[in-house]
Amino acid sequence: MNKTQTIKDILSFVLNINKDYDFNTLSIDTNMNWDSMKHVTIITAIENEFDIFIEADDATSLTSYEKLLNYIESKT
């Protein structure tokens, strides 16, 4: 599975959104489900799926699909 699809699958599951959602607009500001607890789960899932370790400062800034994708592209 490619990185884009993996991130989309994680966000779909955690935020309970359809896979045909416009992910390019998805962020903590545009989705009411994306609260701090869900954010921790998203970061955990990303770390787990990509087998990486995200520093706390980075984790707090990864608040949109686009930021997550860019971060993963830079780390893997």
Partner 1 sequence: MSMGFLQATKIIAENTIKESKSFTFAASCQLDKIDIFLKAHFINQGYNANYDLLPYNTFPQYLINSNNTNHIVLIFPWDLCPALNWRLGNQNINTNIAQLEKEASTNIDLICQLSNATILYCDTDVPPVLLKSNESSILKNKLINICLKNNINIISNEYFSLNSYISNGCPIISNKLSSLASLITSLFLKNSEPKKIIVTDFDNVMWNGVIGEDGLDNISYDQSTKGYKHYIYQSCLKRLVNSGIILTGVTRNDEKLASLAFSDRNMILTESDFVCVIASYNAKSSQISMISRQLNLPLESFIFIDDNPVELEEVMLSLPEVKCLLFPKAADNLPDFINRLLNNFNLDTITEDDKNRTEFYKKRSLSISSSKKQGANLDEYLISLEMKINTKVCSQDKSARAIQLINKTNQFNANGIRISEQHIKERLSDNLLLLSFSLTDNHGNHGEIASVLIENKNKILNFVLSCRAFQRNIEYYVLHWIHKELSIDSLCLDYINTERNEPLRIFLSTITGKQVTADGQVNLDLNKICSQNRRIDEIFSETD
Residue ranges binding partner 1 (CB under 8 A): 1, 6, 9-10, 13, 37, 40-41, 43-45, 47-49, 51, 53, 55-56, 59
Q: How far is the CB of 66 from partner 1 (least distance, A)?
A: 20
Nearest to partner 1 of 27, 41 (CB atom): 41
Residues 10, 49: contact at Cβ < 8 Å?
Answer: yes
* Strand stretches in the chain, DSSP E: none
d(CA 40, CA 76): 20
Q: How far is the CB of 37 from partner 1 (least distance, A)?
A: 7
Write down the residue that tokens 């607890």 correspond to.
37
Paired residues of 27 in beta bridges: 64
Q: How far is the CB of 75 from partner 1 (least distance, A)?
A: 14
